[in-house]
Amino acid sequence: MSPATGTSRYDHDRASLDTVLAGVAERTGTALPAYRVDQLWQGLYRDLVAPEDLTTLPKGLRAEVGAALPAALTEDTRSVGDSGQTVKWLFRLADGALVETVLMHYAERSTVCVSTQAGCAMACGFCATGQMGFDRHLTTGEIVEQVVRAQVEAGDRRVSNVVFMGMGEPLANYDRTWSAVERLHGDLGLSARHLTVSTVGIVPGIRRLAAESLPVNLAVSLHAADDDLRDELVPINRRYPLDVLAEACAEHVATTGRRLSFEWALIHDVNDRPEDAARLADYARPLGAHVNLIPLNPTPGWPTRGSSPERVRAFADEVNARGGNATVRRTRGTDIDAACGQLRADRVGGGDGPTPVAAPRGRPPVG
Ligand code: SAH
């Protein structure tokens, strides 16, 4: 498995910032008082400024500290959609890998959708990231820095929610994703109940999540409630079929007390029939799961289309009539290819870094 190769100033917590400052002190032959680490931490996590611009640090020291703590993300492209309420970035990482981040403003909250990997190995055929294959894991700092960049953009509107629903499979990059959760909670001050990890259903990862001390929300990309169809749509199902997935979900609900949600992208005549709704209701009901329905967003490598608004409505009604709890999700960013499943960081023309390969993939490399 490819290592995470990047570095970000947000890979550091207070303790390791202390080590960084000790290194700077040694190189420059300056004695640095202990309160400098607090000023640096405050600058990075409260004021969200680069060390170079940190006026609390002595001028002669800023460039040196800045060089020791580089930013990981360079803005390659920024697109604004939904009349300014949605912003999508394509960020270039130090090694040329590309990832996308989306900021969405709503009346009552602002949410950032972050990537956890460059590309994805899960090979869900309908997902644009799945179509491009896996490039590498992101580091903790590369994940956290996406939230920081979005908060800087949001200005006075506080980013209250983070969803791990961008490029990549968070639970296939468990340790770094979890450190990012801890950093968002402990350093950036986000509430755990406003953090949501979304997964294709990697059962050991869900069980680990259930055992963590911070209870975050769990979203599972279900899309089918029978194994034959789910094997096709979400290939990891061949490894972790629906019955073991349900057990892991139940464990997460029991230990965290958080509500579980299922994502279901409605695909015309594939998973939007009344019998699909019935199976979904039967699967979701005992788990008390909330079902988020969205019509499938079009992607380049998948020929089927999303369900019509009428079919979406009828499907939701059918699930609810059978005791399920389904709502239709407002889609965001369709005008800038920032909607669910559309994040795909290859760019046509320009750019000097390597572009992730767009190789068709068969079964995902699991295990
Ligand atoms: N790997 C994680 C997180 C990234 S995907 C996961 O699968 O949950 C975020 C969500 O977008 C998932 O629910 C995914 O199934 C959904 N998605 C992917 N492609 C889509 C598409 N073309 N239309 C609608 N939703 C899609």
Kindly give the number of the ligand 1 atom that is closest to the alpha carbon of 122: 1
> By C-alpha distance, which of 272, 310, 270 is closest to 291?
272
pLDDT of residue 346: 74
pLDDT of residue 353: 36
Catalytic residues: 100, 340
pLDDT of residue 143: 98
pLDDT of residue 301: 87
- Residues 92-121 have pLDDT tens digits of 999 999 999 999 999 999 999 999 999 999
Q: Is 202 touching ligand 1 by the criterion CB < 6 Å? A: no
Long-range contacts, 351-354 (Cβ 8 Å, 24+): 351/76, 351/92, 352/96, 353/92, 353/95, 353/96, 353/97, 353/98, 354/96, 354/97
pLDDT of residue 44: 97
Contact present, 296 and 325 (Cβ < 8 Å): no
For residue 352, the tally of other CB atoms under 10 A from its CB is 6
pLDDT of residue 348: 47
Report the nearest-CA residue for atom 24 of ligand 1: 296
| Regions of the chain where pLDDT drops below 70 | 1-6, 347-367
Fold assignment, 74-336: TIM Barrel (3.20.20)
Q: Which residues contact 343 (CB under 8 A, 6 or more apart)?
A: 100, 102, 115, 128, 129, 166, 167, 337
Report the nearest-CA residue for atom 6 of ligand 1: 199
Q: Is 169 touching ligand 1 by the criterion CB < 6 Å? A: yes
Give the start-to-end residue ranges of the domains of the chain. Answer: 12-68, 74-336
pTM of the model: 0.92
pLDDT of residue 362: 36
